[in-house]
């Protein structure tokens, strides 16, 4: 393209173009259960402002979203609910597991009521460590996810290309 914008074509692969569009228009559905939800609200509010990275259109209906941010503990009573919501989000879909509870059950809460990480229920693309993670950490995670989407390396994209085998999501286990 010329500097004055006159001649106008770019060569790219369709895949890259589609992924570029996807990564810059993330529509998150917050699955905020506990402490991490408050930090996620901070991330979305004016001081940290996630919209600078193309991810502020928070939708509370799974049908309108493509990124699930699991913020906080998912216990055994909640696990089937999360699984249902995951299945309602249309493909391609991405999952960020925010905080120790969602990522690993948090060493603190290895108890009768808890799952030990949401990856026992749904596939996760990016894990964010911290209890709770700072807003910067969540923004970093969103940017990491964008990189992954651009490269086509997320679970959903790999599965669509047939590069993954097995069930659509792991079986619920502890």
CA–CA separation, 60 and 16 (whole Å): 28
Q: Is 52 in the site for another protein (CB under 8 A)?
A: no
Q: Which stretch binds another protein (CB under 8 A): 18-26, 35-43, 142-150, 156-164?
A: 35-43
CA–CA separation, 31 and 13 (whole Å): 34
Among 16, 64, 80, 87, binds another protein (CB under 8 A): 80
Q: Is 37 in the site for another protein (CB under 8 A)?
A: yes
Q: Which stretch binds another protein (CB under 8 A): 3-11, 16-24, 83-91, 148-156?
A: 83-91
Q: Is 109 in the site for another protein (CB under 8 A)?
A: yes
Number of residues that bind another protein (CB under 8 A): 40
Check if the beta carbon of residue 94 is closer than 8 Å to that of residue 151. no
Q: Which stretch binds another protein (CB under 8 A): 18-26, 109-117, 142-150, 155-163?
A: 109-117
Q: Is 31 in the site for another protein (CB under 8 A)?
A: yes
Helix or strand (DSSP H, E) at 158: helix 155-160
- Would you say 26 or 149 has its CB closer to another protein? 26
Rg (C-alpha) for the chain, rounded Å, is 17
CA–CA separation, 169 and 119 (whole Å): 9
- Displacement of CA 117 from its chain's centroid (Å): 15
Token digits of residue 14: 């369709």
Check if the beta carbon of residue 139 is closer than 8 Å to that of residue 163. no
Q: Which residues bind another protein (CB under 8 A)?
A: 31-35, 37-39, 41-42, 45-47, 60, 72-73, 75-85, 108-114, 131-132, 134, 172-174
């Amino acid at each position: 393209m010329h500097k004055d914008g006159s001649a106008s074509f770019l060569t790219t692969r369709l895949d890259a173009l589609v992924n570029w569009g996807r990564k810059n228009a993330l529509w998150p559905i917050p699955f905020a259960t506990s402490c991490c939800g408050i930090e996620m609200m901070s991330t979305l509010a004016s001081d940290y402002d996630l919209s600078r990275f193309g991810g502020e259109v928070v939708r509370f209906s799974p049908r309108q979203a493509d990124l699930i941010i699991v913020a906080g503990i998912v216990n055994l009573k909640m696990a089937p609910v999360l699984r249902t919501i995951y299945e309602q989000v249309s493909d391609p879909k991405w999952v960020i597991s925010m905080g120790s509870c969602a990522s690993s059950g948090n060493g603190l809460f290895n108890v009768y009521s808890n799952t030990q990480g949401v990856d026992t229920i749904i596939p996760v693309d990016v894990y964010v460590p911290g209890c709770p993670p700072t807003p910067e950490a969540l923004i970093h995670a969103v940017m990491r996810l964008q990189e992954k989407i651009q490269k086509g390396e997320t679970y959903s994209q790999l599965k669509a290309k047939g590069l993954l085998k097995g069930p659509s999501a792991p079986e619920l286990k502890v």
